[in-house]
Amino acid sequence: MRLEARGAVSPAMALAAPVVAVAFTLAVAALFVAWAGAPVGRTYALIFEGGFGSRFAWSETLTRATPLILTGLAAAIAFRARLYNIGAEGQLYAGALAAVAVGGLHGGTGFDLPPALLLVAMFAAAALAGGLLMALPAFAKTRFGVDEVVTTLLLNFIVLLFVSMMLDGPMKDPAAMGWPQSVALREELELPKLVERTRVHAGLLIAIGLAVLSWTAMRATTFGFEVRAVGANPRAARFAGVPVARTLLLVALASGAAAGLGGAIEVAGRTGYVTLDMSPGYGYTGIVIAMLAGLNPLGVVAAAVFVAGVLVGADSMSRAASVPTYIADVIVAVALIAMLVAALAARYRIRLR
Amino acid sequence: MSEPVLRLSGITRRFGALVANDGITLDLAAGEVLALLGENGAGKSTLVSILFGHYVADAGTIEAFGRPLPPGDPAAALAAGIGMVHQHSTLADNLTVLDNVMLGTEPLWRPLSRRREGRARLVATAERFGLAVDPDARVARLSVGERQRVEILKALTRDARVLILDEPTAVLTPQESEALFTTLRGMVAEGLSVIFISHKLDEVLRVSDRIAVLRTGRLVAAMPSRGTSKAALAEAMVGRAVAPPVAKPHARGDVVCVLDRVAMRGERVGERLDGVSLALHAGEITAIAGVAGNGQAALVDLLCGMRAADAGSVTLGGAALPADPRGWIDAGAARIPDDRREVGTLGDLPVWENAIAERYRRPFASGGIVRRRSARAYARRLVDRYDVRGAGIDTPVRTLSGGNMQKLIVGRALSGGASKPDAYLPTLIVASQPTWGLDAGAVAWVHQQLLDACARGSAVLLVSEDLDEIFALADRIAVIHGGRLVPPRPAKQWTLAEIGLAMAGVRDAA
């Protein structure tokens, strides 16, 4: 059995790939639902209803999608240059911590700045924290050839332990009755809600805005060309005069910044402070989302909404049916594998001898 | 004629939409040298791969010595007495000649290797065919020609009755090629049969008894070598008469690029240069001849801005340039790399982005935004003018054929992002193996482009392993061996024998 490259991938096939992948995923997950002893149709109906079936469901899905769009962008930008950033989880926490460090109530007061300026400073600090955290492995890669998959993955654990230290130490909230929780963000810095009596906040608009910006940059700027050239073939890119190391470093900064902003936006839009369980693996789910989106920044928005809907819908479904909420993880994981296979099948045809 | 040793009937093999072999029927007689002639992509390699069991044919059968050969089984091919010598050495460098020859001939469960027996066999075979080798020499220390001899011996000690040689002279000096031909004649006299794959007409006419010509997967002609002319073969190979490139009169101008005692370090010989001095003049083609892996890569990398010299100096247009491709591009270097797919193009990116890849900042962007409209218009003109076929400007470059890819690369290098044709003239053209693997039509085209640019006043450095190409184009020829350069002399002052000796590293060849 061998793989043969097809010619150009037709647009129809590029569009069909994710659709087929999702259909396959639902079919596989159906087996698990049946195994759990629940009626498959009803379970899927409940998931759909819980994720997309009402105003409330939509609001919850979009709230959940907000950080996922940003971690999805982090992965999509970096992967396009074949810089494998597996560290969005850590970068998200670093951004969240930086946001509270700048905009939090330290000892009852915060920095004495106008709120608008402080808001900008807070986001800048979060972006910088995430960006620098990713720049380090990128530098090690370009300079010493260290595999960034390993370094970014392991940095996640280091960052989480660092956050844990800060939450039990200098940034601990004295009013939290001993819980490891950071001081609260100043109230003026919290992002406004988009819809009355829901949790959807202005962070969603920031995330979508950044997705549109990334898409435009990838397509229309010289930097976008450099990123795609380095991703296509670093040697040929260098031959054509692309500064490969600098491009990778800038990609790392952009990718880490997106994840860092994701952390700041979670704090400013939803939680109001940092805890160790504020992200149920948004950084890792972002990778799945980027792959589902075919690394297209606009596709990331759609993929993030889909995944968020499945996660939220599964939560509400498990309260009504006898299927554990883990079915959401199964769906997301199978979707990733199915998408990878579908992307491969769109580019290559399989030939038996 | 006696019973043929090999009989191929109706061999067909498809790769997707491409028909690599289309109903090929061919016999091989005992004691015969059959040349398989064809351009790159004509289906020669596919055919012998099927014969040797690497591929399975979609249709057709093979008989060896009257018995059907099971498809897709290299072990069966070996057992049937078919030996293959690949173009690139498949020997283990860190083992001796004897080890290499014995490798794979003994069952793994045997506790002790029967070296004495193996050595006796090797020595006897070597004597019988007049192939002198030292059984205890390490392969790493052997020359390319010697390695090839070991490969042949390896096949012969396994009782090969049919030997397939895939482009065996591509990596040899003229003298080494001559020695190989003598060996082949000795083998044929012993009753062996040889299939000799090549695209070089001269040597095919000299060495073979019969010639089979493949074109686009089909067997278009099979004829005895005697009484056949080069022109007839060329036409059969290409399918039409190919006009040779025409050199316009050109005059040697000023020095534009100077290398002064340049040294480069590297792990392998091919990455090293040792005290190389060279001056390249406008309006002149200087060729670097040499066997692959003797420092050509280092020289080309240096002049493409990919690597820096460790010692000595390099100037282009009077200015020293750092190891930065963009600096070289901006200084007027037009670069044609030997690896079209991995260096010359960005495979997944569309044709139009590849067309502007060397100039994406200037003139095809302003303020960091790519000027898409003018870039695409430029790409369209480039594709038209240089006749890049098989794709629109939005298809990924990797889907182009090698010839069309090369047209894009050459066109891009020679146009320099200028909006009008001929508005730009590169100061220096660095062409490394510019016609490698191209069909005759594309070869003539590339040669014409280089000659034209030279006539207009570019300095051209042609690095090639093909002496025919060098003699056809070069005004001056230098020879590279082991990272050292035998200084250039006018092409007319070299004889083939002298170049051969210089390529083999005999210093006082001059």
Residue range B397-409: mean pLDDT, rounded:
88
> Is residue B215, in this structure, part of any structural domain at all?
yes
The partner residue sitting opposite B360, judged by closest CB among A7, A225, A238, is A225
For B445-473, what is the mean pLDDT? Answer: 92
Last residue of a domain, one of B238, B253, B285: B238
* CA A285 to the chain's CA centroid: 6
Split at pLDDT 50, 70, 90, the class of B2 is low
Whether A228 sits inside 8 A of B349 (CB atoms) is yes
Helix (H, G, I), strand (E, B) or coil at B22: strand
What is the residue-wise DSSP string for B465-488?
S-HHHHHHH-SEEEEEETTEEEEE
Closest CA to B483 of B313, B303, B261: B261
CB A225 within 8 A of CB B370: yes
Q: How many CB pairs under 8 A join A and B?
A: 79
Nearest-neighbour CA in chain B from A226: distance (Å)? 9
A111 Cβ under 8 Å from any chain B Cβ = no
CB atoms within 10 A of CB A346: 20
**Mutate which: B55, B321, B346, B354, vs A, most A CBs within 10 A:** B346
Q: Do A236 and B344 touch (CB under 8 A)?
A: yes
pLDDT digit string (tens) for chain A, length 353 residues: 666 666 666 777 777 887 888 889 989 999 999 998 889 999 999 999 999 999 999 999 999 999 999 999 999 999 999 999 999 999 999 999 999 999 988 766 777 888 899 999 999 999 999 999 999 999 999 999 999 999 999 999 999 999 999 998 888 888 878 788 898 898 888 999 998 889 999 999 999 999 999 999 999 999 999 999 999 999 999 999 999 999 999 999 999 999 999 999 999 999 999 999 999 999 999 998 999 888 999 999 999 999 999 999 999 998 888 888 888 888 888 988 998 888 888 777 776 54
Which chain A positions have a beta carbon within 8 Å of B342's beta carbon? Answer: 233, 235-236
Q: Do B418 and B459 fall into the same domain?
A: no
Over 90: is that where the pLDDT of B183 sits?
no
Residues of B in contact with A236 (CB under 8 A): 342-347
Residues of A in contact with B360 (CB under 8 A): 222, 225-226, 240-242
Looking at the complex, report in whole angstroms how far the Cα of residue B326 sits from the nearest Cα belonging to chain A: 4
User: Which position has the token pair 């801005």?
Assistant: B305
Asked if A7's CB is within 8 angstroms of B399's CB, the reply is: yes
pLDDT at A129: 97
Pick from B162, B142, B118, B165: nearest CA to B4: B162
Which DSSP string do the residues of A114-127 spell out, in sequence order? -HHHHHHHHHHHHH
Look-up: residue for tokens 């392998």?
B268
**pLDDT value of position A347:** 76
| pLDDT for the residue numbered B304 | 95
Domain assignment present for B339: no
Task: Write the residue in B365, B369, B399 that is nearest to A8 by C-beta.
Answer: B399
Residues A230, A247 contacting (CB under 8 angstroms): yes
Helix or strand holding residue B251 (H, E): none
Q: State whether B308 and B443 are in the same domain.
A: yes
Domain end residue (candidates: B424, B444, B469): B424
Quickly count: other Cβ atoms within 10 Å of residue A104's Cβ: 23
| Cα-Cα-Cα-Cα dihedral sign, residues A215, A221, A224, A229 | positive
Those residues whose C-beta lies under 8 Å from the C-beta of residue B301, and which sit 6 or more positions away, are B307
On chain B, the residues whose CB falls within 8 A of the CB of A8 are: 395-396, 399
Q: Report how far residue A182's alpha carbon sits from residue A174's, in angstroms, rounded to the nearest whole number.
A: 9
The model's pLDDT over B241-295, given as tens digits with 9 standing for 90+, comes to: 777 778 777 888 999 999 999 999 988 778 899 999 999 999 999 999 998 888 9
What is the rounded average pLDDT of the residues B114-137? 86
Q: In this structure, how many other beta carbons lie within 10 angstroms of the beta carbon of residue B304?
A: 21
**Which of the following CATH numbers is that of domain A39-321: 3.40.50, 1.10.3470, 1.20.58, 1.10.1200?**
1.10.3470
How high does pLDDT run on average in chain B? 88
Q: Say if B65 falls within a structural domain.
A: yes
Q: Are residues B47 and B192 in the same domain?
A: yes
CB contact under 8 A, B342 and A232: no
Alpha helices in B63-143 (DSSP H): 74-79, 97-102, 115-129
Q: How far is B269 from chain A (nearest CA, A)?
A: 21
Amino acid code (one letter) for B256? V
Residue B342 lies in a domain: no
Q: Is the pLDDT confidence value at B155 over 80?
A: yes
Check residue B374 and give its pLDDT.
Answer: 93
pLDDT at B42: 82
Mapped to the 3 state alphabet, what secondary structure does B163-219 carry?
A: EEEECCCCCCCHHHHHHHHHHHHHHHHCCCEEEEEECCHHHHHHHCCEEEEEECCEE
In terms of residue numbers, what domain contains B252? 242-332+426-510
Q: Do B62 and B18 lie in a common domain?
A: yes
Once rounded to an integer, what is the mean pLDDT over residues B118-135? 86
- Residue B134 DSSP class: -
User: Is residue B67 located within the same domain as residue B39?
Assistant: yes
| B340 in any annotated domain | no
Task: Let me know: does A3 contact A351? Beta carbons within 8 Å.
Answer: yes
**Helix, strand, coil percent content, chain B, rounded in steps of 5:** 35, 25, 40
With a CB-CB cutoff of 8 Å, which residues 8-27 of chain B face chain A?
Answer: 15-16
Beta bridge mates, B59: B12
- Asked if residue B320 and residue B411 are part of one domain, the reply reads no
Measured between beta carbons, the chain B residues lying within 8 angstroms of A228 are 346, 349, 353
Residue A20 structure tokens: 């087929």
Alpha-carbon span A111 to A121, nearest angstrom = 11
Query: B209: burial class by Cβ within 10 Å (0-12, 13-18, 19+)?
Result: middle
Q: Is A300 on the interface with B (CB under 8 A)?
A: no
Residues B174-195 have a mean pLDDT of 88
- Asked if residue B247 lies in contact with residue B294, where contact means CB atoms within 8 angstroms, the answer is no
Gap between the Cα atoms of A33 and A44, Å rounded: 9
The CA distances from residue B246 to A145, B203, B455, in Å, are 49, 24, 11
pLDDT of residue A352: 59
Is B265 within a domain? Answer: yes
Q: Which pLDDT does position A311 carry in this prediction?
A: 92
**Does residue B121 share a domain with residue B73?**
yes
- Cβ of B370 within 8 Å of Cβ of A228? The answer is no
Same domain flag for B230 and B170: yes
Amino acid B403: pLDDT? 83
Q: What's the pTM? A: 0.83
Which of B358, B372, B395 is closest, CB to CB, to A240?
A: B358
Task: Give B85 to chain A, closest Cα distance, Å.
Answer: 24
Query: pLDDT tens digits for A22-31?
Result: 889 989 999 9
- Interchain contact B38–A (C-beta under 8 A): no
| pLDDT confidence band for B176 (50 / 70 / 90) | confident
Specify the pLDDT at position A2. 63
> CATH code at B146?
3.40.50.300
In contact, B459 and B257? CB cutoff 8 Å: yes
CA distances to A57, A242, A282, B75, B170 from A309, in Å: 8, 40, 14, 57, 62
Q: How far is CA B498 from CA B274, B477, B493, B494, B503, in A?
A: 21, 12, 10, 6, 9
Q: Exposed (0-12), middle (13-18) or buried (19+): which is B127, by Cβ within 10 Å?
A: exposed
Q: Give the position of tokens 């351009």.
A: B39
- The whole-angstrom distance between B56's CA and the closest CA on chain A is 7
Instruction: Give yes or no: residues B315 and B464 share one domain.
Output: yes
Give chain A positions within 8 Å (CB) of B346. Answer: 228-229, 232-233, 236-237, 240
Burial of B373 (0-12, 13-18, 19+ CB in 10 A): exposed
User: Does residue B39 fall inside a structural domain?
Assistant: yes
- At residue B463, φ and ψ (nearest 5 deg) are -105, 120
Are B288 and B433 members of one domain?
A: yes
Helix, strand or coil for residue B225? coil
Residues 355-414 of B with CB under 8 A from A: 357-358, 360-361, 365, 368-370, 372, 395-396, 398-399
The arrangement of strands across the sheet holding B459-463 comes to B333-336, B428-432, B459-463, B284-289, B476-481, B484-490
- Å from A238 to nearest chain B CA? 7
Q: How far is residue A190's CA from residue A203's CA, in Å, rounded to a whole number?
A: 10
Q: What angle do the packed helices B144-157 and B115-129 form, to 10 degrees?
A: 110
- How deeply is B111 buried, as exposed, middle or buried, from its count of CB atoms within 10 A (0-12, 13-18, 19+)? exposed
A53 CA to chain B: closest CA distance, Å?
41
Domain assignment of residue B208, yes or no: yes
Q: How confident is the model at residue B510 (pLDDT cuts 50, 70, 90)?
A: very low
Question: Contacts for B48-53 with beta carbons within 8 Å, 24 or more apart?
Answer: B48/B84, B48/B164, B48/B166, B48/B195, B48/B197, B50/B11, B50/B13, B50/B21, B51/B6, B51/B8, B51/B77, B51/B82, B51/B164, B51/B195, B52/B77, B52/B82, B52/B84, B52/B164, B53/B77
Residue of B nearest to A238 (CA): B325
Which of B183, B209, B238 is the last residue before a domain boundary?
A: B238
Parallel/antiparallel/unpaired status of strands B255-264 and B273-281: antiparallel
Task: Give tens-digit pLDDT for B37-92.
Answer: 887 778 888 898 888 888 888 899 999 888 898 888 888 888 888 988 887 778 88
B311 interface with A at CB cutoff 8 Å: no
Chain A residues whose CB is inside 8 A of the B344 CB are: 236, 239
The pLDDT value recorded for residue B456 is: 92
Cβ neighbours of A349 in B, within 8 Å: 16
Distance from CA of B337 to the nearest CA of A (A): 9
Predicted local distance difference test score (pLDDT) of residue A9: 67
Cα gap B364→B358, rounded to integer Å: 10
Same domain as B163, residue B299: no
pLDDT in tens, B323-357: 999 999 999 999 999 888 899 999 899 999 999 99
What is the rounded CA–CA span in Å between residue B444 and residue B455? 16
Residues B417 and B443 grouped into a single domain: no
Q: What is the pLDDT of residue B509?
A: 44
CB contact under 8 A, A232 and B347: yes
Rounded to the nearest angstrom, the minimum Cα separation between B59 and chain A is 13
| Identity of the residue in B358, B368, B396 whose CB atom sits nearest the CB atom of A223 | B368
The beta-carbon contacts of B387-391 under 8 Å, at least 24 apart in sequence, are B387/B445, B388/B351, B391/B351
DSSP conformation class of B63: E
**A68 close to A279: Cβ distance less than 8 angstroms:** no
Indicate which of A9, A222, A227, A228 best probes the interface with B, i.e. most B CBs within 10 Å of its own CB. Answer: A222
Q: Given an 8 Å threshold on Cβ–Cβ distance, is B349 in contact with A232? A: yes
B-facing residues of A in 197-256 (CB < 8 A) are 220-226, 228-229, 232-233, 235-243
Domain boundaries, chain A: 39-321
How wide is the angle at C-alpha B481 spanned by C-alphas B437 and B299, nearest 5°? 65
For B:162-181, CB contacts with A below 8 A are none
Please indicate if any CB of chain B lies within 8 Å of the CB of A11.
no
Pairing of strands B284-289, B311-316: unpaired
If contacts are CB pairs under 8 Å, which of residues 273-302 in chain B contact chain A? none
Q: Higher model confidence: residue B474 or residue B200?
A: B474
Burial of A317 (0-12, 13-18, 19+ CB in 10 A): buried
Tell me the two tokens of residue B462.
Answer: 């042609």
Q: Give me the pLDDT at residue B75, please.
A: 86
Decide if A193 touches B, using CB distance below 8 A. Answer: no
Q: What is the pLDDT of residue A108?
A: 66
Q: How many domains does chain B have?
A: 3
